[in-house]
Structure 1
């Protein structure tokens, strides 16, 4: 079961709705390939977003670190 559904609008645009689930047996073979490719792309996008969030948290923690502040004052970093 995919954790998203591709919804086709009346003007032909496709929207990914992550609140809906799509069972495998409801898809045609062509749609199954499209959903599999989209699932891989969404997984990559989630991984990139997670890395950006983790880097931001790391930066915030580093800025609050007193040793980092002292190092910046004496120009080590």
Structure 2
């Protein structure tokens, strides 16, 4: 058995918060941040940002799903017929 099988998988965030010169922060999703490189205060901040990003991605997914549903409905011939007859 290889040594790599028993090593713990490093827990990391799939983004990095970068402090800008004007005091704002930018989220760079092309860089991963290992958990052991963060202080407890930064870990709490990263957890909060992680939850906010997950929520935003869920909202985007729902919006995309709703938009696609609307497109499919408009292309539906029965819906077009109902609109033509004044039923919808």
Provide, for residues 11-39 of structure 1, a one-character-per-residue CA deviation record: whole Å limited to 9, x for no partner: 21100111111110000000000000100
Name 1:2's counterpart in structure 2: 13
Tell me, which stretches of 5 or more residues in structure 1 are unaligned? none
Equivalent-residue separation in structure 1 for 2:82 and 2:18 (angstroms): 53
TM-score (norm 1): 0.94
Return 5+ residue gaps in structure 2 as ranges: 1-11
Q: Which residue of 2 aligns with 1:33?
A: 44
TM-score scaled to structure 2, two decimals? 0.83
Q: Count the aligned residue pairs.
A: 77
Cα distance in 1 between the residues matched to 2:60 and 2:83: 29
Q: Aligned-pair RMSD on alpha carbons?
A: 0.8
Equivalent-residue separation in structure 1 for 2:86 and 2:43 (angstroms): 56
Of 23, 41, 55, the residue aligned with 1:44 is 55
